[in-house]
Amino acid sequence: MENTVNSLLPVWACLASLLAVPLIVIFRKEIFLREMSTLLAGVVKLGFVLMMLPIILEGKTIVTELVPGISGINVPIVFRVDALGMIFALVASSLWIATSIYAIGYMRGLNEHSQTRFFAFFALSLSATLGVAFAGNLLTLYLFYEMLSLSTWPLVTHHQDKEARGGGRTYLSYLLGTSVAFAIPAILFTYLKADGDLSFSGPAILAGSDMGFLPAVLLLLAFAFGFSKAGLMPFHSWLPGAMVAPTPVSALLHAVAVVKVGVFCVIRVVTGVFGIDLLGKFGANLVLCWIAAFTVIVSSLIALSQDNLKRRLAFSTIGQLSYIVLGVALLHELAIKGSVLHIAAHAVGKITLFFCAGAIFVATGKKYISQMAGLGKQMPFTFAAFFLGSLGVIGLPPSIGLISKFHLLLGAAEAGQVALMVVFLISTILNAAYFLPISYEAFFPKKDSEGDLVNTKFQWSGVKEAPLACVIPLCVTASLTVGLFFFPGLLLELADLFVGSVKP
Amino acid sequence: MAEFIHDHIQPYFNYWVYVIIMMIGLWALIAKNNLIKKLIGLSIFQTAIILFYVSMGVKDGATIPILGHHGSSPPASEHRLFEDLDEEEPKKAHGKPVDHHAADDEHGEDHTHGHAGHHKTNPDLIANPLPHVLMLTAIVVGVATLGVALAISQMIFKEFGSLEEDEILEEIKASASDG
Amino acid sequence: MVDQIPAVLVLAPLFGALLIGLIGHRDHRVCFPIALASLSVTFFGAIAAAQHVFTNGPMDYFVGGWEKPLGIGIHLRIDALNALLLIAIATVAVLVTFFSIRRVGEKNTEKTHYFYILFLLLCLGLFGITIAADAFNLFVLIEVSSLTSYGLIAMGSSRSGTYAAFNYVLMGTVGASFYLLGVGYLYLTTGSLNMQDIHTILGSNPEIAQSKAVTIAFIFILVGIWIKMAFFPLYGWLPNAYSYSPSSTACFLAPLMTKISVYVMIRVMISVFGLEWIFVSLGWSHLVVWLAVIAILAGSVLALAQREIKKMLCYLIVAEVGYMVGGAWLADEGLWGMTGALYHILADAAMTLCLFLAAGIFVKRFRAREISDLEGMFRKAPWVMAAFVIGALAMIGVPPTCGFFSKFYLIRGGLDAGHWEYVGALLISSLINAVLFFRIFEIAFFGNKPAEGHDHSHDPHETEELPVASNEAPPVWSGNLPLFATAVIIILLGIYNGPVVALIRTFLEELPIVASSL
Amino acid sequence: MIFAFDIIILVFLVVAALISLNVKDLLSASMIYGIYGFLICLLWAEMGAVDVAFTEASVGAGVSTVLLVATVFNTRRRSSD
Amino acid sequence: MLSKVFATIAVAITGSILLYGVSDFPAFGDPHSPANAGVPGSESVSLYFIEESYKDTKVPNIVTSVLADYRGYDTMFETVVIFAAGMAIFAILRVVGNKEETAAKAAEEDSFTNGDHNRIIVGTTVRIVVPVIQLFALYVVAHGHHSPGGGFQGGVILGASFIIIALAENLNAALRRLSELNYVRLAAIGIFIYAAFGIMAQVLGSNFLDYGALQPIFMTDGPEMARSHSMLGVEIGVAFTVTAIMFAIYANLASRGQLVKGL
């Protein structure tokens, strides 16, 4: 059905950051070289991904068999790059470069310990992320999924204090626990049902199977909860817990890599394992829809009540992830397209927000929103970027968020799910309610009658912008949020390609 | 009762006793408190298995598995004290010309019996050698195990000053709670 | 030349041991080269044998040339079932030989050569067990391996170790005696000791196969082997015996002894009684699988309760044995459970070796015996810890390590056979293992947190060699080399599970049971 | 083999085993174990297993007893059971 | 107490299973039981031994021929078991003490007349008896082809003769005749002899332990006599190992691994 290209490019793209690990370790004493090797790996990686782009745009897929499978015995480990994987890889690898620069600034700014370990595992987790993006079958997907969980643990617990310990514990127990308890049985069930074929190429794995409503729903839920990186409630609390990590980690991993891997897996499951036909036949998708909708609303409400900026961002992330899940679960072309776009849109938007949060922390050491009033004057770039990022996440023009949310809304409408449409709208309002005041307060703090700040504790004299290495990336990602609104062509094309390939 | 003994105990007497001895050994092995006693129990346990094997290879009225000593057919029944008990068996043993010998005769000259100058080996009259061979090995293994176990129990005595299991366990417990 | 390999496999370690016996007392430094040389011969022999088996089919070797009628002489056989195992044993043996350099007899080198003699004889025993096709010969070789392992465990034992060794002797002897008794019952009913011969006789004489004596023979052989492999209710001897023994000994015994016993069980099931007889006419599959479930859960939970690293690993072995026994007894139509069990023998050997090597290094270099002693180990010995992590991940069952794939096949078998309890136990034990090992990682990771603001990343891992190092301490490479090799093996075995399993399947698919439905 | 002889030895065997296990003096226990060994050796001979009997006489009755005695001498002679 | 309950349960279960099986056995002493005559339709191994072993090996003692030839591989490992047990005991018990002290003690107890006068009678008797015992042991080894006995039994008796010396005089007296170094070597050499016969067969192009292939070496008429001769050689090897290890086990156990004084 599809024309495939055999190429080692996906392997190289994946290896680029993996090979950086030994380099980073070797140069553990030469800080400059160590950081350069991180950056270099990022650039090389992006280069490889970009080299694959034209092929994908032609409508072809790239397939590489890493470990050959023997029919009837084992499942091969295969890379297969399609439009969806391409979008994800593009997002991840380009944002990695930004994050690396940011991380260098951040870690230097705070004079953190164990930086070598930090960069090494950072590179490792990026490899895992690309592995997920390029996974050609369910087993490969799972393999890199787990690799990501494990390689990010040292990052989450980087501070090695009591809080980090607790956060790390929650992080791993949720991710590993759900994957062992739900994902593995689900994969095995699929494996048995599909007679040993777990490949994503061709029609969906279970497309032709005779499955009742209940098994289908249970399997779907097992997958959705098993890949708990997607943050569906009630298996979401690892995400706020993981916020103990240094900000670059939160930024890249918990706005881009890890959580997106979760939703990416859900998209793969819905489109590649079940297929739109099978799910649509029973309406099994609606169960997932409502869980996602519930998560969207509840997480937004929780986010409203959070004062810790990073925690607020975390709950916001949970909600945004459920948008994507919801979109794909609607099974409507436009909604899926919206989901795919939202991966990119949310990634750029949220990473900007996290960068800003980190920059504020580096500059002032403040973590709580209530302490940030009036900071806008001292850190104009940061807060301007924060504003743009919030726009992107809320879905207001001029930001790429508008395009994706628009597609999602349209999809919900066309699918005839008015109630879900309302959910989208309500949550957008909530998003606005918890993001916009932050920027507003920063620039226009409440003043009493004499023109002084209400809260005299915060006299921001002497506070300056964070180091340049922190500010530049956040400006770049903020401008990306806006830029993609004006030039969304590439993303739209890729999303269309993907939707075309899964269309019933 | 007598009938039961005749049918079930008497033909299997050796097997019954082997089970009894084995159980005595096993019981001592688990329940005895003294390590040396345990080892004696272990040895008894092992000899029971040997008894079982050797009993398997016994043939009524047969002689030892060495040719040229008594290799010809001895009048098997002369040893019998309980003639009535197993009168079936010897008849079978004597009466049936064993077919395996047809093959021997074809060979013409018979190596087997050239040695002591008798004519034919009736395999029913020679005890089965295979269990004997196996048990030679088992005995050797048994004594080897006993030696190693005794060496270990000497070490235990050196460490704990006792060979009583309960005392040793108490010592271990005490030292565990100390450290 | 190739056809002599079965004999060479056992003769090479034998001659190594004899040579050390003759000249080893003069200078203990000759022991290691001799041991390494003889084990290398075996290693290449095993590879050559495997190659031969997978291209030309099973190798039969009749010692003394007594081929016909079957059973008068001793029959050795290498087929697809044991060829892979031979390579595994040889690999572990060679790696542990490296590990044992200057680790044994540190107090007085006078006993070093005894260690190597016993070690080589133990290898010999394991090779012999693997290739034996004669039920009684198997017993003799089980005794060779048992006696040597008694000696090895007792020789360096601590205070409570001697008592553990004594219990091990008792249990081991009872196990072997039960096996011998079972063989006796088989001989009583079939008149043969050759496995192949017994199999044919049982197959062609249903009235013998259905007799009580054969069933009892099976029970006793099974229970005997279960004692040897520390299967659930009979596991009591293992944790103490292994955890108190010297590192080099534990590193060799832990990966192999139980696994070999599992192999013996599978061999007896397949080659002596036949799966059809066991699963169809006996039909105890459910019972044994339930026992295995209890074994898995009990082993995991008990492991969770331990404070000592080695003891914890020992209880994990108990759980792993449950995996394998359960897998072998799943009786699913495609024998995927059996496949998983056989693959898990190899996988588990690798991961247990890895973990025990790491534990041995911790004890030796850092005096870290308890889990709490591991504080900050990621910083003190990052590489050792990395290998430990790989082993642990395999134990948990994270891809792409071999532990994941073996569980995958086992679960597949469980699902096929409808043994949900077994599948559940596997998953639960994976979770428990995860908790167990992440607790260790946490301790090792969080241990001594460096002061804020000070970049410790410049620390080279020179701290890896702590002040313990003296002239007599084993060289660092002798511990690290086998450790890293094992870690790599774990990954490779996992990634290339397909070919390995394909080889196992070639054997299993020829069994009649696969064709007929159960 | 002679059935009556067989029975007599077997009965003695059981008795010897029981005594050996129940004597409190370990030295006596070892010696009675030696007697047990000789009885069983007699039994082998009676069953036609002469080689086994020979081995049992030298090993089971001879060396095993000596080894037991050697250990008892080096440890403690009294036993609680 | 708990162990007694447990023991009773274990014994009850095992015993009842075993007794349950007994009723199914072929009657005791039945020459046609499967163990003795095979099952119908397949050739009986034990009948083969009884009928053919003399033809194959020219050894009248069937047990010896089966032990050393047909199942020679087992017997080799049986010897290895002994060897391993010896090594295990050394590894466990052997205390490497102060050599000078050992020598001093040895000198002190040099003469059996020293001190304990009761030993005169015993010692003298033993001195007379031991050569006879050793001669008998050699006879047992050599005559294993024709009568009960063989390398193992002979070896045990030979080892026992050293044990007697140790018992009657003291351990050092016995160790002077067979020192620690020598008995380890002797044990190794014994198995080496055994294996060498097997290897020679391999070198001559046959399977391991195929004594028939040694015909050119022994220059016999047929493979049968070669087997017979090789068996004798093998038995001698077994006797070496067993002698050495039996004595060594005793020496270590009796002296708690110090190899001085003894009991």
What pLDDT is attached to residue B110? 40
How far is the CA of A377 from the CAs of A355, A368, A445, A465, D44, in angstroms? 18, 18, 10, 10, 106
Q: B108: Cβ–Cβ under 8 A, 6 or more apart, which residues? A: none
- Within chain B, which residues score under 70 in pLDDT? 1, 8, 69-121, 178-179
Between CA B75 and CA B125 the distance in angstroms is 10
pLDDT for C136: 92
Suggest the residue from C388, C441, C455, C509 to mutate for an interface test with chain A (most A CBs closer than 10 A).
C455
The answer to whether B159 contacts C140, with C-beta atoms less than 8 Å apart, is no
Angle of the A138-156 helix axis to the A115-134 helix axis, nearest 10: 160
**Measuring CA to CA, how many Å separate D47 from each of B57, D60, E138?**
9, 17, 26
Q: How far is residue C244 from each of residues B35, B168, B169, measured CA to CA in Å?
A: 20, 16, 15
Q: Which residues of B touch D81 (CB under 8 A)?
A: 32-34, 37
The residue written with tokens 């290209």 in the block is A5
Name the residue in chain D with its Cα closest to that of B80: D2
On the question of a cis peptide bond just before residue A234, with omega within 30 degrees of 0, the verdict is yes
The answer to whether B154 contacts E93, with C-beta atoms less than 8 Å apart, is yes
The predicted-structure confidence for C370-400, as pLDDT tens digits, reads as follows 888 888 777 778 888 889 999 999 998 887 8
Cβ distance C326 to C289 under 8 Å?
A: yes
To test the contact with chain B by mutation, choose from E4, E48, E54, E238 the residue with the greatest count of B C-beta atoms within 10 A, namely E54
Tens-place pLDDT, residues A89-118: 888 888 888 888 888 877 777 777 777 888
Q: Cβ contact (<8 Å) for B156 and C157?
A: no
Contact B46 C177 (CB under 8 A): yes
> CA-based Rg of chain C, rounded to a whole angstrom?
22
**CB contact A196 to C (< 8 Å):** no
Pairing type for strands A4-6 and A61-67 reads: parallel
Tell me whether chains B and D touch (3+ CB pairs under 8 A): yes
Instruction: Of A16, A7, A10, give the one whose Cα is nearest residue A45.
Output: A16
Cα angle B99, B102, B105; round to 5: 145
**Is residue A447 less than 8 Å (CB to CB) from chain C?**
no
Query: Rounded to whole angstroms, how far apart are CA atoms A55 and A5?
Result: 8
CB-nearest partner of D21 from B40, B50, B143: B40
Quick one: pLDDT at residue C13? 92
Question: Which residues on adjacent β-strands are paired with residue E61?
Answer: B66
D79 touches chain B (CB under 8 A): yes
Nearest-CB residue to C445 (from A113, A160, A192): A160
Does B40 contact D68 at a Cβ distance shorter than 8 Å? yes
Residues in chain C: 518
Separation in Å, CA of D37 to nearest CA in chain E = 15
Give the whole-angstrom CA distance, residue B100 versus residue C308.
Answer: 64
Q: What distance in Å separates the CA atoms of residue E142 and residue E145, rounded to the nearest whole number?
A: 7
How far C421 CA lies from chain A's nearest CA (Å)?
Answer: 13
pLDDT in the model for residue B118? 43
Mean pLDDT, all residues of chain E: 84
Non-local CB neighbours of A249 within 8 Å, separated by 6+ positions: A122, A152, A155, A156, A158
pLDDT of res. E84? 93
User: Virtual CA dihedral for B132, B134, B136, B140, nearest 10 degrees?
Assistant: -160
- A112 CB within 8 Å of a chain C CB: yes
In this predicted structure, what is the pLDDT of residue E76? Answer: 92
CA triplet E73, E79, E84: central angle to 5 degrees? Answer: 120
Instruction: Using CB atoms, pick whichever of B56, B144, B152 lies closest to residue C188.
Output: B56
Q: Is the pLDDT of residue A130 over 60?
A: yes
- Substitution target in E6, E14, E16, E22 with the highest count of B β-carbons within 10 Å is E22
Nearest CA in chain B to E54: B112
pLDDT band at E110, cuts 50/70/90?
low
CB contact under 8 A, E92 and C144: no
Q: How far, in Å, CA of C86 to CA of C128, rounded? A: 10
CA distance A398 to chain C (A): 41
Closest CA to B65 of E137, C135, E59: E59
Name, in order, each residue with C-beta under 8 angstroms of A227's C-beta and a sequence gap of 6 or more.
A145, A178, A179, A183, A261, A262, A265, A266, A269
Distance CA C353, CA C368 (A): 18
Of the two residues A397 and A430, the one the predictor is more confident about is: A430
Kindly determine whether residue C445 and residue A154, on different chains, have CB atoms separated by under 8 Å.
Answer: yes
Asked if residues D53 and D22 have their Cβ atoms less than 8 Å apart, the reply is: no
The mean pLDDT value for E34-51 works out to 83
What global pTM score does this model have? 0.88
Chain B closest-CA separation from residue D39 CA (Å): 11
Residue extents of the structural domains in chain E: 60-254
pLDDT of residue C178: 93
**B167 or A59, higher pLDDT:** B167
Q: CA-CA distance, C326 to C413, in Å (whole number)?
A: 10
Confidence at residue B90, expressed as pLDDT on a 0 to 100 scale: 41
Eight-class DSSP state of D49: -
Nearest residue of chain B to residue D21 (CA atoms): B37
Q: Would you call A113 an interface residue with chain C, using a CB distance cutoff of 8 Å?
A: yes
pLDDT of residue B91: 40
B138 contacts on C by Cβ (under 8 Å): 180
Handedness of CA C136, C142, C146, C148 (dihedral sign): positive
* pLDDT of E109: 54
Is-contact A228 A238, C-beta < 8 A? yes
What confidence tens digit (pLDDT) does each residue in A264-295 have? 888 888 888 887 777 777 777 788 888 888 88
Residue to test with chain C: of A178, A188, A198, most C Cβ within 10 A: A188
Q: E147: which 2 tokens? A: 């009568």
Task: Look at A70 and C498 and tell me if their CB atoms are within 8 Å.
Answer: yes
For residue A504, the model assigns a pLDDT of 61
Q: Can you tell me the distance from the alpha carbon of A392 to that of A261, in angstroms, rounded to the nearest whole number? A: 20
pLDDT of C461 reads 40
Q: How far is D51 from chain E (nearest CA, A)?
A: 5
The shortest C-alpha distance from E4 to chain D (Å) reads 12
Q: Which residues pair with C29 in a beta bridge?
A: none
Query: Is E153 within 8 Å of D62 when comparing Cβ atoms?
Result: no
Please identify every stretch of chain C with a pLDDT value under 50, giving residue numbers as ranges.
449-471, 515, 517-518
Residue D79 to chain E, least CA–CA distance (Å): 16
- Predicted local confidence at residue A67, as pLDDT: 78
Note the pLDDT of residue B77. 40
Contact call for residues C208 and E39 (beta carbons, < 8 A): yes
- Least reliable range by pLDDT among A58-62, C20-24, C85-89, E51-55: A58-62
pLDDT at B98: 42
Chains contacting D (3 or more CB pairs within 8 Å) = B, E
Per-domain boundaries in chain A: 4-502
Report the run of H or E that residue E12 belongs to, with start and end: helix E2-22
Give the model's pLDDT for residue C472.
53
Do chains B and C touch by CB distance (3+ pairs < 8 Å)?
Answer: yes
* Alpha-carbon span B154 to C165, nearest angstrom: 12
Q: Which residues of D touch B63 (CB under 8 A)?
A: 48
For helices C336-366 and C80-99, the axis angle rounded to 10 degrees is 0
Q: What is the mean pLDDT of chain C?
A: 84
Whole-number Å distance between alpha carbons of A370 and A358? 16
* Mean pLDDT, residues A395-413: 83
Put simply, the chain C residues between 157 and 176 with a CB less than 8 A from any chain B CB are 157, 159-160, 162-163, 165-166, 169-170, 173-174, 176
Residue A489 confidence (pLDDT) above 70: yes
Closest approach of E120 to chain B, Cα-based (Å): 30
Instruction: List strand residue ranges (DSSP E) for A35-119, in order.
Output: 61-67, 77-81
Structure confidence by residue, pLDDT tens digits, C44-54:
999 999 999 88
B29 and C174 in contact by Cβ < 8 A? yes
Q: What confidence category does residue E52 fall into, taking pLDDT thresholds of 50, 70 and 90? A: confident
- Model confidence at A454: pLDDT above 70: no
Question: Per residue in E166-185, pLDDT tens?
Answer: 888 878 888 888 888 888 88
C213 → closest Cβ in E24, E77, E189: E24
The answer to whether the Cβ–Cβ distance between D60 and B153 falls below 8 Å is no
Q: Residue E57: is its pLDDT beyond 60? A: yes
Q: Backbone dihedral region of A216: left (phi > 0), alpha (psi from -120 to 50 degrees) or beta? A: alpha
Q: What's the angle, vertex CA C283, arms to CA C281 and CA C286, rounded to 5?
A: 175
* pLDDT, position E104: 57
Contacts (Cβ under 8 Å, ≥6 apart) of A390: A349, A353, A431, A435, A436, A438, A439
Q: What is the pLDDT of residue C449?
A: 46
Q: Does E174 touch chain D (CB under 8 A)?
A: no
Query: What is the percent of chain E with per-residue pLDDT over 70, rounded to a whole number?
Result: 90
Cross-sheet strand order for the sheet of A77-81 = A4-6, A61-67, A77-81
**Residue whose pair of structure tokens reads 């494996």 in the numeric block:** A191
Minimal CA–CA distance to A480: which of A375, A388, A363? A388
Query: If you average pLDDT over residues A451-460, what whole number do you get?
Result: 56
Tell me if chain C has a CB within 8 Å of the CB of B52.
Answer: yes
Would you kindly state where each structural domain of chain B is located, as residue ranges? 2-178
Q: φ, ψ for residue C465 (rounded to 5)? A: -95, 105
Query: SS3 of C108, please?
Result: coil
Q: Give all chains having 3 or more CB-to-CB distances under 8 Å with chain B.
A: C, D, E
Mutate to test the interface with E, among B136, B154, B165 (most CBs of E within 10 A): B136
Beta bridge partners of C425: none
* Contact status, residue C94 vs residue C40, Cβ threshold 8 Å: yes
* Calpha distance C471→C468 (Å, rounded): 10
Residues whose CB is less than 8 angstroms from the CB of residue E13 and which lie 6 or more positions away in sequence, other chains included:
none
Whether residue A1 has pLDDT greater than 80: no
**Which helix H or strand E contains C76, and what residues bound it?**
strand C74-78
